[in-house]
């Protein structure tokens, strides 16, 4: 992290760190909610993570690079629940035509990421949680495939992307490796879990997710 002449972190670098942390916690909650709701899918990444980690006491980056299904789950959750449903505002530098409209220069533009990533013209069964859609699929979240831009696209992509994704993969791998998970009420059905989102700039869950961890014994 860069520092100023007094040794204090630059505000821009600090904002990147905070932004990445906030994205991590929000997205992780959605990932776990989707896995609880789709219990048959939950078993697949758990088996993968435990197989790769074997009897190791600590998961490292080399292990995570072998967890292909875990990466598919993360992408699919980010498709359904992008951290910011609307992109940060951008401004047109010159006049242009788009969708039959004349747009003047210096117009503030918001991209509806949530709608693009659930568009049935771009995605098969877009409302369903299907991690397999990203298996052997070159579509990535780095902002170059414009049907999948959970962190924004092009030069205006999120600067905290690398930090956020690495943190998500590491935390998720550990949660799935060392614990089994269930809802607090023993007879509650995951399929009935409320997935309502808040109507804010960030895609938080309307009702916070509460889960009970059960230590996994190999």
User: Facing residues of 86 across strands?
Assistant: 112
Note the residue count of the chain. 218
Answer yes or no: is 158 a known binding residue.
yes
User: Facing residues of 197 across strands?
Assistant: 205
**Residues flagged as binding site for heme:** 158
**Residues flagged as binding site:** 158
């Amino acid at each position: 992290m860069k520092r100023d002449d007094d040794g204090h972190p630059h505000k821009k670098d600090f904002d990147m760190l905070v932004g990445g942390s906030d994205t991590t916690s929000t997205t992780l909650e959605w990932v776990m909610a989707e896995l609880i709701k789709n219990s048959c899918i939950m078993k697949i990444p758990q088996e993968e993570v435990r197989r790769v980690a074997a009897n190791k006491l600590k998961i490292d980056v080399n292990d995570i690079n072998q967890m292909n299904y875990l990466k598919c789950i993360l992408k699919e959750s980010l498709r359904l629940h992008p951290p910011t449903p609307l992109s940060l505002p951008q401004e047109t530098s010159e006049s242009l035509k788009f969708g039959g409209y004349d747009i003047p220069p210096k117009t503030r533009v918001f991209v509806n990421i949530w709608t693009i990533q659930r568009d049935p013209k771009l995605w098969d069964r877009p409302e369903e949680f299907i991690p397999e859609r990203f298996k052997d699929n070159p579509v990535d979240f780095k902002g170059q495939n414009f049907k999948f831009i959970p962190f924004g696209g092009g030069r205006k992509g999120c600067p905290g992307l690398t930090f956020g994704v690495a943190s998500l993969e590491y935390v998720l791998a550990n949660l799935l490796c060392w614990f089994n998970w269930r809802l607090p009420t023993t007879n509650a059905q995951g399929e009935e879990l409320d997935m309502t989102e808040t109507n804010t700039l960030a895609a938080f869950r309307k009702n916070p997710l509460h889960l009970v961890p059960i230590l996994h014994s190999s």
